[in-house]
Amino acid sequence: MAGHPGRPSGRPVRRAHGEAVALEGEFPLFDREAREGLEDEVLAPGATHARGGGARRREEEPDPWRTCFERDRDRILHSTAFRRLAGKTQVFVFPADHQRTRLTHALEVAQVAGAIARSLRLNVALAEAIALGHDCGHGPGGHASEDALSPFLEGGFDHAVWGAEVTTAGLNLCAETIDGIANHSWSRPAPATPEGEVVSLADRIAYTAHDLEDAARAGLVDRGELPALVRQRCGTSRSSQLDAFISDVVSTSAAAGIIAMSEEMGEALEALRRFDYERIYLREASLEQSARVIELLRGLVEHYAANPGLVPGRPDEAGDSLDDPLQEAVAYVAGMTDRFAFAQAVTLLDWPAERLPRGAA
């Protein structure tokens, strides 16, 4: 359909529907400068403020409508790196219906981080940008890809650093967003912003709860077997756990003046995470899956490094060429979805079906 013409106030327009709701009274625009001004009024002391175009590696003109962090969030959301997360393992290779992928995990982290940041009067757009981009550096096959790719890079392969410095480099994100992505893992240095710290907590809160839910639906664990302190302090369902952890982070952070959990709920989160590791991530089938992923990805990297002509040109958003056949091979393989990586192994390496990660055959 071509829409519906109209002439309000004498000006020709085209509407989606014939009957449109009228906007009454004055209609002041809420552009970037207006929202930056509102941040000065509503954000908490210590929150990260958007200013103009943001601190980017390549200087850009400010957007007339979006703050710099809103712009970052949109760039990540529309990037190929983010879309490819739909085809990358969270816990299960080739997830069944309703099981999480890296993309749905990132969306859930963004929801948790946004809820915390909004309640604490932090910069929600920055928290959401970091959350949406935090796992863009992950390779196919889950965390096993880090073990697979580490031998090929000096200092190893860290999905957080790789995502900030390589995968999203061409997006020209703000320094605060890059920092939050690079340092979201608890093993990394502390993020430079409170919004980055929020995402670090939101990531662990989200995956411990939703990975348990996926495993329970798959019949791998029984929620009744959760440690008593988990059942007592945050419940057995994903919704009760998210509610308990989010509420605790908000109340504890507001009282302490830093982004933190209470000792009591921190113990519950660690106990839940330990349960997930013992019963889900480190179960025999998962370790076998990881070993297959590692073997396959290393075979692909070695093949592409020896045949650099097979590596296609990288999309503009992936940044500049790495000028090193081995690093280009790592970048290409790290960007693959599970399905594409396994198909390439079969096509290029004659990979036997019985050696493919479970669920790929």
pLDDT tens for 32-80 read 999 999 999 999 999 999 987 789 999 999 999 999 999 999 999 999 9
* Residues forming a β-bridge with 56: 174
What is the token pair recorded at 92? 């299960």
Q: pTM (2 decimals)?
A: 0.94
Q: Where are the alpha helices (DSSP H) in the chain?
A: 32-42, 68-77, 80-84, 102-119, 124-133, 144-149, 159-162, 175-182, 194-217, 228-234, 238-256, 263-276, 284-306, 325-334, 338-349
**Phi and psi, residue 207, nearest 5°:** -75, -35
Please give the average per-residue pLDDT across 2-7, as a whole number: 68
Tokens of 42: 């509503």
Q: CB–CB of 192/174 below 8 Å?
A: no
CA 177, 182, 186, 190 torsion: positive or negative?
negative
Instruction: Write the CA distances from 107 to 92, 111, 329, integer angstroms.
Output: 17, 6, 29
- Domain 32-355: CATH class, spelled out: mainly alpha
Give residue for tokens 């957080």. 160
Q: Which carries the bigger pLDDT value, residue 197 or residue 315?
A: 197
pLDDT at 320: 59
The pair of structure tokens assigned to 109 is 């982290």
Distance separating alpha carbons of residues 217 and 21, to the nearest angstrom: 44
Residue 3 scores a pLDDT above 80: no
Q: Where are the chain's structural domains? A: 32-355
Instruction: State CA 325 to chain mean position distance.
Output: 28
Tokens 């952070």 map to which residue?
253
The C-alpha atoms of residue 39 and residue 232 are separated, in whole angstroms, by 39
Cα dihedral across residues 91, 193, 124, 66: positive or negative? negative
**Which is more confident, 91 or 96?**
91
Query: Is the model's pLDDT at 104 over the cut of 60?
Result: yes
For the ranges 53-62, 141-150, 260-269, the lowest mean pLDDT is seen at 53-62
Residue type, 321: S
Q: What is the CA radius of gyration of the chain?
A: 23
pLDDT band at 360 (very low <50, low <70, confident <90, very high): very low
Residues 49/170/105/245 CA torsion (nearest 10 deg): -20
pLDDT, mean of residues 82-108: 91
Q: According to the model, what pLDDT value does residue 361 have? A: 35
Measured in whole angstroms, the distance separating CA 253 from the mean position of its chain's CA atoms is 23
Rounded Cα gap, residues 205 and 219, in angstroms: 22
pLDDT confidence bin for 319, thresholds 50/70/90: low
CA 295 and chain centroid, separation: 26
Give me the DSSP letters along 88-155: SBSSSSSPPTT--BHHHHHHHHHHHHHHHHHHTT--HHHHHHHHHHTTTT--TTTTHHHHHHGGGSTT
Burial of 192 (0-12, 13-18, 19+ CB in 10 A): middle
| Strands (DSSP E) found in 31-124 | none
- Per-residue model confidence (pLDDT) at position 78: 98
CA 290, 292, 294, 296 torsion-angle sign: negative
Residue-wise pLDDT tens digits, 269-302:
999 999 999 999 999 999 999 999 999 999 999 9
Q: How many CB atoms lie within 10 A of CB 322?
A: 15
Q: Rounded CA gap, 164 and 151, in Å?
A: 20
296 vs 11, residue with greater confidence: 296
Q: What confidence tier does 136 reach under pLDDT thresholds 50, 70, 90?
A: very high
